[in-house]
Amino acid sequence: MALKLTAEHQRILDIFSGTTQYIIPAYQRSYSWGEEQCMELLEDLKDAYINKKQKGNKKEGYFLGNIVTAKSTESGDVEEVIDGQQRLTTLTLLMYVLLSFDKDNRHLNDAITIPAGSRRESPKPRLKTNMFIEKDAKSLSEALKLNFDKMDVCKSEKRDSQYKKNICYFYQEIKKISEDKDIDIFDFIDFLLFDVSMLPIKTEDATPDSAREKALMIFETINNRGLSLADSDIFKAKLYALALSEKKAEDFINDWKDLEEQSKELDKPQGGKYSINDIFRFYTQIIRGQEGIITSERGLREFFTQKSYSPFKTKSSEDVMSDLFKIVSIVRFFREVIESPNKYEDLTKWFQLLEQYSNQYPLNTLVVYLYVHGIDMNRERLKLFARDLVRYSFSHGATTKIKFPLFSFIAKVVKEKETTFKLSFKSQKDLVYFGLLKKGFTLLAFYLNDNQKAIYPNYFNKIINSRDVKTLNSTWSEVELTYTDYSDTLGNMIIVDKNISRDVKLLKKGEYLKDSSIEEIKELANKLNNWSYQDYQNRETLLKNRLIKFFEKTDDN
């Protein structure tokens, strides 16, 4: 069906009138504007009002920006707010305050409450929120019932919602305006209703889902002010609706809070960052494996909301949440192994290397493998699997094409639980340029030293940086090399156990490295004061030989 889109510049009066009800959907983030944003909005409106008065221009107005909504034929006059929640909500709070100063203003009253169409109908709130995590619905409703005639109604309390804080800020500021008589409050109200405008962009379709998808597409195309809605926000709403139909809404709310908290713990700035969207991404690989799908991936949103095999359509909300928690436990285990070399020893090495791969497809494979076998599986068996996965992935180099053989492998893992890898790496010439895998191959060569234990954290550095070229000894001038020829090679890249600034010059680097706990680095430190081209070449050959031996050794499972 073709996209049906309307976009018409409208006054605040027109936006907040008629029978249209605006719904803040459950997947939206909570209301977050604070006093600073409210102050900025009010000051902008006051400045625009004063500027209009001074110029005496009846056509002078003020534009507040876009809002994006979705409307379906099923939902009638209800419009789902895709973008503009913060401004619509804040304007509603402001107009409720203004109504307390102009109680007979029918336009303001209609902006807050949609009049009943007949005696059998009840008035409805113009703006309604379906947020459930932070009890937004109750807090907004309470804020829009405040009686400013009561003493201490705006007395601050710790438990006050952001709605109440903002509405009380507006009340105090509008009261000052009214008392100081700098601005005619009734004239200011007319200015807001008749001269302030927005651009509502509305998509329409037969069903709420299709109208929403089109509105999200529009929003993400024009949005340049902040983050687009996360896929997980949409999934949260879908699962909440499923839980409601199963009469398990409260259980779902508590579970989702727990899932978000556990996911935040995995989103570590110092290591691999895994958000709740990544948890869903891993989930798609498990479902695809179960369905035997080995073709190109679809977008997360399309996968979970449109496909017939989506767990949202084949499982209960309780089962979906159970699957997601299981994936979280796997990712937590992955992080624990990476960060605990003393506990997991060689397994830490292979997990760290999988994290260094240039894309997530090998890690997807590991997650599916652990999902099938459990994180309590035999450690030696897991270590061999992780090692072979590293060998297989790195043998292909840094390429997204690896996804297709790994898709096939995942499908076999889910069905047969065991399968083997076939290598494609055979030649030493493949060790000349590493591209996006330069850190990965450096770490691999480092760990292929039989005496080297796993370390965490580990840092990547270079023996020679560009600033060191002028200080190299005469052996380097005898070869026709530029810095770019050896900058990112194995012979120049090093793994160290402490973070060393790149500003440290070669002649002083040995002093920083001599106290390293890594024997190989200690030996290297003693040579750096007179680092020769032959030293570099010997190191390059040593590390390449380790890699060649590793990739040729395929029969030791």
Write the single-letter amino acid at 367.
V
Strands 127-129 and 124-125: unpaired
For the residues 319-326, what does the mean pLDDT come to? 97
| Euclidean distance between CA atoms 552 and 546, whole angstroms | 10
Phi, psi of 407, deg, nearest 5: -60, -45
Domain stop point among 193, 211, 229: 229
Q: How many CB atoms lie within 10 A of CB 3?
A: 11
Structural contact between residues 437 and 397, judged by C-beta atoms closer than 8 angstroms: yes
The pairing of beta strand 78-83 with beta strand 21-24: parallel
Q: How confident is the model at residue 557 (pLDDT cuts 50, 70, 90)?
A: very low
Lowest mean pLDDT among 93-97, 160-164, 216-220: 216-220
Tell me, yes or no, whether 429 lies in a domain. no
Which own/partner contact pairs does 473-480 have at CB distance under 8 Å and 24+ positions apart? 473/530, 473/531, 473/532, 475/532, 475/533, 475/534, 476/532, 476/533, 478/533, 479/533
Which has more confidence, 234 or 371? 371
Question: Does the structure show a pLDDT above 80 at 539?
Answer: yes
Angle at CA of residue 400, ends 398 and 406, nearest 5°: 105
Residue 426: pLDDT band with limits 50, 70, 90? very low
* Domains contained in the chain, number: 3
Residues 207 and 155 in one domain: yes
User: Which residues face 430 on adjacent strands?
Assistant: none
Token pair belonging to 315:
């499982």
Q: How far apart are CA 201 and CA 258, in angstroms?
A: 35
All residues at 6 or more sequence positions from 301 whose CB lies less than 8 Å from its CB, including other chains? 213, 216, 231, 234
Percent residues over pLDDT 70 in the chain: 90
41 contact partners, CB below 8 Å, separation of at least 6: 87, 90, 94
Report if pTM > 0.95.
no
Residue 392 sits in the same domain as residue 483: no
Residue 215 — very low, low, confident or very high, per pLDDT cuts 50/70/90?
confident
- For residue 553, the model assigns a pLDDT of 64
Nearest of 77, 90, 98, 253 to residue 166 by alpha carbon: 90
DSSP bridge partners of 324: none
Residue 170 lies in a domain: yes
Chain Cα centroid distance, residue 529: 46
Could you tell me which residues are beta bridge partners of residue 21? 78
- Report whether pLDDT(54) > 70: yes
Q: Is there a domain that residue 430 lies in?
A: no
In this structure, the answer to whether residues 55 and 107 fall within a common structural domain is: yes
Domain of 159 in residue numbering reads as 4-229
Cβ distance 60 to 51 under 8 Å?
yes
Interatomic CA distance for residues 241 and 313, integer angstroms: 12
Q: 10 Å Cβ neighbour count for 500?
A: 16
- 78 bridge partner residues: 21
CB-CB contact of 215 with 68 (8 Å): yes
Q: Within a domain: residue 411?
A: yes
Q: What pLDDT was estimated at residue 133?
A: 61
What lies within 8 Å, CB to CB, of 89 at 6+ separation is: 24, 31, 33, 127, 129, 140, 163
Could you tell me if 332 and 420 lie in one domain?
yes
- Residue 127: alpha-carbon gap to chain centroid: 28
Percent of the chain, pLDDT > 90?
55
pLDDT given for residue 213 in this prediction: 73
Q: Are residues 341 and 452 located together in one domain of the fold?
A: no
Say if 171 falls within a structural domain.
yes
Closest-CA residue to 359 (of 389, 403, 329, 295): 403
Regarding whether 449 and 413 lie in a shared domain, the answer is no
Check residues 286 and 25 and name the one with the higher pLDDT: 286
CA distance 208 to 380: 51
What SS3 class is residue 215?
Answer: helix
pLDDT tens digit string along 229-266? 577 877 887 888 888 888 888 898 889 989 988 988 88
- Nearest-angstrom CA–CA distance, 72 and 403: 38
Structure-token pair, residue 205? 């379709």
Q: Is residue 197 part of a domain?
A: yes
Contact (CB, 8 A) for 506 and 531: yes
Q: Between these two residues, 244 and 533, which has the higher pLDDT value?
A: 533
Supply 435's token pair: 């591209």
The CA distances from residue 448 to 243, 427, 440, 486, 545, in Å, are 50, 18, 12, 21, 10
Please give the structure tokens belonging to residue 58.
């009846």
N residues, the chain: 557
Domain shared by 222 and 261, yes or no: no
- Do residues 269 and 214 share a domain? no
Give dist(CA 407, CA 51) in Å, integer: 63
Residue 290 within a domain? yes
Which residues contact residue 274 at a Cβ distance below 8 angstroms, ignoring those fewer than 6 apart? 263, 266, 267, 331, 335
Find, among 311, 232, 219, 335, the residue nearest to 277 by Cα: 232
Domain boundary among 424, 457, 476: 424
125 vs 23: CA distance, rounded Å: 10
Residues 43 and 192 occupy one common structural domain = yes
Contacts of 113 (CB under 8 A, 6+ apart): 123, 124, 125, 126
Q: What is the per-residue pLDDT across 490-528, written as a single tens digit (0 to 9) for each?
A: 999 999 998 888 788 888 888 889 889 999 999 999 899
Q: Which of 320-324, 434-438, 549-553 has the lowest mean pLDDT?
A: 549-553
Q: What is the pLDDT of residue 224?
A: 44
Average pLDDT over residues 108-126: 86
Domain end, chosen from 375, 392, 424, is at 424
Residue 113, beta-bridge partner list: 125
Question: Are 311 and 416 members of one domain?
Answer: yes
Amino acid at site 512: Y
Same domain, 207 and 251: no
**Of 392, 502, 521, nearest in space to 449 by CA:** 521
Tokens of residue 390, six digits = 């590293």
**What angle (nearest 5°) sits at the alpha carbon of residue 472, between those of residues 466 and 473?**
170
Q: What angle do CA 531, 533, 535 make, to 5 degrees?
A: 60
Given the DSSP bridges, would you call strands 78-83 and 124-125 parallel, antiparallel or unpaired? unpaired
What pLDDT is stored for residue 8 in this prediction?
81
Residues 394 and 284 in one domain: yes
CA–CA separation, 497 and 500 (whole Å)? 9
536 lies in some domain = yes
Angle at CA 210, nearest 5°, toward 12 and 132? 65
- Across-strand partners of 267? 273
Q: Read off φ and ψ for residue 454, nearest 5 degrees.
A: -65, 145
